[in-house]
């Protein structure tokens, strides 16, 4: 998947005019790309379009319009675009109650290393977490992680031939899976693969 370039982005004024429409569009677009795993975790599988929207939002929020600042944002977000042989996902651990979240994040240390995808009956592929920077400390994990799932050629071929896909987490304090993922999700993720 092609990385984003400055010319792929709208200027702040153009983006402001189109923002409401683009936000509605991206919400619908992301719907099949969001996978809920158990009661408190979701994985948003990113692609060029989802990252483009995120960059636009960051530029807007930070009022960045100079080329160096735009390039900095692109350098930070382009690594989250899959390359055709992998999936990249933002993992969110969601607990609405702050005290419950604090306790859960202490119990869920290293959960980011226990997320997996599985094509049909092939081996599970565990995500590689937080390559940009560590998001866990001695006391707790973070509520947000970035994961990369590297697929083999046989996995890609099986998916393209219609094989099922499962997603799960295998952590002592959080064991949940979605098997199989819904067809619209499987199809959206297959479109990310070469």
* pLDDT, position 138: 77
* pLDDT, position 1: 76
Contact 93, 40 (CB under 8 A): yes
Asked if residue 105 has pLDDT above 90, the reply is yes
Where b means 16+ CB within 10 Å and e means fewer, 19-32 reads eeebeeebeeebeb
pLDDT in tens, 119-169: 999 999 999 998 776 677 778 999 999 999 999 999 999 999 999 999 999
* pLDDT, position 115: 98
* pLDDT, position 99: 96
> pLDDT grade, residue 177 (50/70/90)?
very high
* pLDDT, position 96: 93
- Paired strand residues for 177: 168
Using the 8-state DSSP alphabet, how is residue 80 labeled?
G
pLDDT in tens, 5-64: 999 999 999 999 999 999 999 999 999 999 999 999 999 999 999 999 999 999 999 999
* pLDDT, position 131: 76
pTM here?
0.91
Looking from the CA of 92 toward its CB, the CA atoms found within 13 Å total 12
Asked if residue 84 has pLDDT above 90, the reply is yes
* pLDDT, position 164: 97
Contact 73, 9 (CB under 8 A): no
């Amino acid at each position: 998947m092609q990385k984003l370039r400055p010319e792929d982005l709208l200027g702040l004024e153009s983006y402001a005019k189109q923002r409401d429409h683009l936000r509605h569009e991206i919400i619908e677009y992301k719907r099949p790309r969001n996978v809920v795993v158990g009661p408190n975790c979701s994985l948003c599988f990113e692609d060029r379009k989802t990252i483009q929207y995120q960059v636009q939002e960051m530029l807007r929020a930070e009022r960045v319009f100079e080329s160096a600042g735009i390039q900095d944002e692109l350098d930070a977000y382009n690594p989250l675009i899959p390359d055709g042989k992998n999936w990249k996902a933002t993992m969110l651990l969601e607990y609405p109650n702050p005290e419950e979240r604090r306790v859960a994040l202490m119990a869920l240390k290293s959960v980011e290393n226990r997320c997996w995808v599985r094509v049909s009956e092939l081996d599970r592929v565990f995500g590689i977490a937080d390559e940009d920077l560590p998001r866990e400390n001695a006391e707790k994990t973070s509520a947000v992680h970035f994961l990369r799932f590297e697929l083999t050629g046989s996995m890609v071929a099986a998916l393209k031939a219609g094989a099922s896909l499962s997603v799960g987490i295998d952590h002592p304090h959080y064991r949940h899976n979605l098997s199989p993922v819904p067809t619209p999700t499987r199809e959206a993720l297959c479109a990310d693969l070469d």
